[in-house]
Amino acid sequence: MEAERLIMNKLSGTMIITITLTQSAFVVLLLLTSTTSQFAWAQAPASNTSSSKPTIFPPDSQPYGLTYGEWTAKWWQWADSIPTTNNPMLDQTGKDCAQGQNQTGPVWFLAGTGAGSAERTCTVPSGKAVLLPIINSVSIRDADQTKEELLAGNKELLDKVTTVEASVDGIPLQNLSSYRIQSPLFNMTLPKDNVLGDPEGTYLAVSDGYWIFLEPLSPGQHEIRLHGAIIEPTSPTPSFETVVTYHLTI
C-alpha cells in the first residue's frame, strides 16, 4: 500500500515535506548539502566574503573521530528532535539556526528545506565545522519491515536525484557525486509535535543524501548556496526541487 502526505509551510519559499509510505516505511525528502576537499574550485571567491578558501572534509575521512555517515545520522537526530514551532527546517529567515545545537561540540548543523526556496542569515560560532545537506532523505522502519527493505527503499528514492549543485563564497563545488553518503542504521527520537507528523517515540532509521561538511570557516562573512532536484524523464518540470542560501557570520 502506498500513501502520500504533504505538510506545507505558509511562509514564502514554501516548505514541503513529502512522506511516502511504501511497505510501511516512512520516507522524508529534505534538502541538504554535500562537499569534499576533492572538489574543483571553478572561480575566485566573491569580493565581499572572507579571503580564506573553505576546506571540505573528504568523504572517506573521519572528522572528529566519526565517519561522514555517522555525522549525517547525528544531523537527523538533531533536526527531527526539534518541534515544529521552532524547527530550523521550517525557518525561512535563519532565526532558528541555533535551536538544539550542541554549543560545546565541534560541529554546527545547518538545515535545508523540504522543497521550494529559503534565504537565511545565521551566526556560527568561530571554530565550528559546518555540516549541511544539498538534498537527502530519511526512512523510518515500520515494525513489519526488514532492515534490508528499509535500506533499499531509501536508496531507491535518492537514485532519482538529477540535480546536485552547491557553492561556497561564490565558488561552485564539483564532483558532488562523491559526497552521496548513506548513514548506518540509527535510532531517531521524535517529539510530540514533530515535523514528520508521526507519533512521538523512538524509531530505527537510515539516511541517504548529498552533503557538505566544511572545516571551520575563517572569521567574517560567508555565503553558501545549494540546489537539489528530482526530474522524472517524462516530466518537463522537477517533481521535487529545493534551493537554499545561507548568509553566515563567523
Q: Which residues pair with 6 in a beta bridge?
A: 18
Which cell is 212 given?
557538505
Which cell is 193 given?
509535535
Cα 88 to Cα 37: distance, rounded to the nearest angstrom:
27
pLDDT exceeds 60 at position 107: yes
Cα 150 to Cα 26: distance, rounded to the nearest angstrom:
9
Buried b (16+ CB within 10 A) or exposed e, 115-148: bbbbebebebeeebbbbbbbbbbbbbbbeebeee
Site of grid cell 560541529? 107
> pLDDT tens, 5-37?
322 222 333 333 333 333 333 344 544 433 333
> pLDDT tens, 170-199?
999 989 999 999 999 999 999 999 998 889
Site of grid cell 574543483? 40
pLDDT exceeds 90 at position 167: yes
Mean residue pLDDT of the chain comes to: 81
pLDDT the model gives residue 241: 86
pLDDT the model gives residue 52: 61
Instruction: Give residue 65's identity as a one-letter amino acid code.
Output: G
Low-confidence winner among 44-58, 82-96, 100-114, 221-235 (lowest mean pLDDT): 44-58
Cα 19 to Cα 138: distance, rounded to the nearest angstrom:
10
Cα 36 to Cα 16: distance, rounded to the nearest angstrom:
28
Question: Which comes out higher in pLDDT, residue 241 or 133?
Answer: 133
Task: List all residues 6 or more positions away from 95 whose beta carbon is below 8 Å from its beta carbon.
Answer: none
